[in-house]
């Protein structure tokens, strides 16, 4: 496993009552039933700290950057604090953190900038397991003659075919683009090992950590990747994207930018005016996780240590939930499950699962559940290569359930009861 910190014993179990009290939207009722937010992979709920920070920004710091007056100075300070928070989150330097609209926009911009340096015949490796936002931006470089090599999966457990990966990384490879975890089936990829393979071949390593970020700690120093992206709205923050880039690369590649904008790194990568009120929210999301960590481990000193403590507790908690969920799903006769089911291999998966029921389409099941206040997703979730490879794309894809640390055992039970009712209806 590439992230040892995830598997150390948590000092204290997660205080689920405290966690849920931080998220006001969890109180929502649907048709007289409490809402069960099992839709985390498409975006998580936010704690009130994030709401307060966004409101606080709009009240006290709402201005553009680098002005000679108080609200502009506060705005600049907000961005500096958020960069420092994300640097702790990634475990990097502050000037290695770039903010952007979302992961997709950031990745297209980065791919375009890297593409400036590539020549026909250069190769980029992508995978069948990935979200299309980590495929299409690289495929767009085919227009320049760049060759895309796509790594297959092992269908039995929806893990990457590492032998195929090794065959496809060659001396021609310039960049390897891999997801940290699959947003469709929850597989966690051995990204540290793959980074070594990429570097041995002289290629850059780009990691899409969007799906992994709510489930485990990211350490770009340990991974040694060149770029890593994630989206705060998947880890309890607002709708934005963030990029980690090694300083040498952020300085070396040339982003497309307007002339008067800063040439300094990382600002030169942040095109136009950012959604600064949401940057305030990103800071608060990281602080929320750190607060959770300090509650789980009172010995955690700095923010980075507190974040690691938080993830130790949330990962252990999510492991219990997903184990119960998978046992319950596999007990439904005729259910088709995609991904790892063996509990001894749960360190290679996170708490996101996809399946098809013996009757009805994934959409029909999602509507049935939604009417009962249980929020799940149906379809391909933009993991289009995967649903095509699994042969389910034309028949509605899969039904996805995503558990995060504010979900409960009771919600898993409710879901299983409702799924059995759907199958019996």
Ligand X SMILES: Cc1ncc(COP(=O)(O)O)c(C=O)c1O
Footprint on this chain of ligand X (rule: CB under 6 A) = 41-42, 102-104, 131, 133-134, 179, 183, 208, 210-211, 231, 241
Rank residues 182 and 407 by Cβ distance to ligand X and give the closer one.
Answer: 182
- Tell the smallest beta-carbon distance from residue 209 to ligand X (Å): 8
Looking at the Cβ atoms of 231 and 351, the one nearer to ligand X is: 231
When the beta carbons of 187 and 314 are compared against ligand X, the nearer one is: 187
Instruction: Using the minimum distance from each CB to ligand X, give the nearer residue, 241 or 362.
Output: 241
The Cα diameter of the chain in Å comes to 67
CB of 210 to ligand X, least distance (A): 4
Q: Whose Cβ is closer to ligand X: residue 231's or residue 313's?
A: 231
Closest approach of ligand X to the CB of residue 165, in Å: 18
Rounded CA Rg of the chain: 21
Shortest Cβ 342–ligand X spacing (Å): 23
Q: Which is nearer to ligand X, 208 or 277 (CB)?
A: 208
Least Å distance, CB 99 to ligand X, is: 12
Question: Closest separation between CB of residue 115 and ligand X, Å?
Answer: 19
Nearer to ligand X, 278 or 300 (CB): 278
Query: Minimum distance from CB of 59 to ligand X (Å)?
Result: 27
């Amino acid at each position: 496993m590439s992230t040892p910190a995830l598997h150390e014993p948590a000092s204290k179990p997660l205080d689920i009552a405290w966690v849920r009290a931080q998220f006001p939207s969890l109180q929502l009722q649907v048709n007289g039933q409490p809402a069960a937010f099992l839709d985390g992979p498409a975006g998580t709920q936010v704690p009130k700290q994030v709401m307060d920070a966004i409101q606080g920004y709009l009240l006290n710091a709402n201005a553009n950057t680098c002005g000679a007056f108080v609200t502009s100075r506060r705005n600049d300070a907000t961005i500096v604090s958020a960069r420092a928070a994300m640097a702790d989150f990634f475990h990097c330097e502050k000037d290695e953190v770039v903010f952007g609209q979302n992961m997709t926009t950031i990745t297209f911009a980065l791919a375009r900038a890297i593409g400036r340096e590539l020549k026909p015949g250069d190769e980029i490796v992508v995978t069948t397991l990935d979200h299309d936002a980590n495929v299409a931006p690289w495929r767009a470089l085919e227009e320049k003659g760049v060759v895309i090599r796509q790594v297959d999966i092992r269908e039995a457990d929806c893990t990457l075919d590492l032998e195929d990966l090794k065959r496809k990384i060659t001396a021609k490879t310039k960049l390897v683009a891999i997801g940290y975890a699959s947003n469709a089936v929850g597989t966690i990829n051995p990204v540290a090992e793959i980074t070594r393979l990429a570097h041995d071949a002289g290629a850059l390593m780009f990691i899409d950590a969007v799906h992994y970020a709510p489930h485990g700690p990211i350490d770009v120093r340990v991974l040694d990747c060149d770029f890593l992206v994630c989206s705060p709205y998947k880890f309890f923050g607002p709708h934005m994207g963030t990029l980690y880039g090694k300083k040498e690369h952020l300085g070396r590649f040339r982003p497309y930018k307007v002339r008067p904008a800063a040439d300094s790194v990382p600002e030169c990568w942040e095109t136009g005016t950012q959604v600064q009120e949401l940057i305030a929210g990103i800071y608060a999301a990281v602080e929320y996780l750190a607060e959770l960590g300090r509650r789980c481990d009172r010995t955690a000193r700095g923010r980075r240590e507190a974040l690691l403590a938080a993830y130790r507790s949330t990962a252990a908690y999510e492991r219990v939930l997903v184990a119960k969920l998978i046992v319950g799903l596999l007990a439904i006769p005729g259910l088709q499950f995609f991904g790892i089911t063996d509990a001894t291999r749960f360190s290679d998966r996170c708490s996101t699962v996809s399946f098809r029921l013996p009757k009805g389409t994934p959409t029909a099941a999602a509507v049935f559940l939604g009417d009962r206040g249980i929020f799940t997703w149906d379809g391909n979730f933009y993991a289009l290569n995967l649903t095509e490879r699994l042969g389910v794309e034309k028949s509605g894809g899969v039904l996805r359930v995503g558990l995060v640390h504010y979900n409960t055992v009771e919600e898993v039970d409710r879901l299983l009861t409702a799924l059995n009712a759907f199958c019996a209806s």
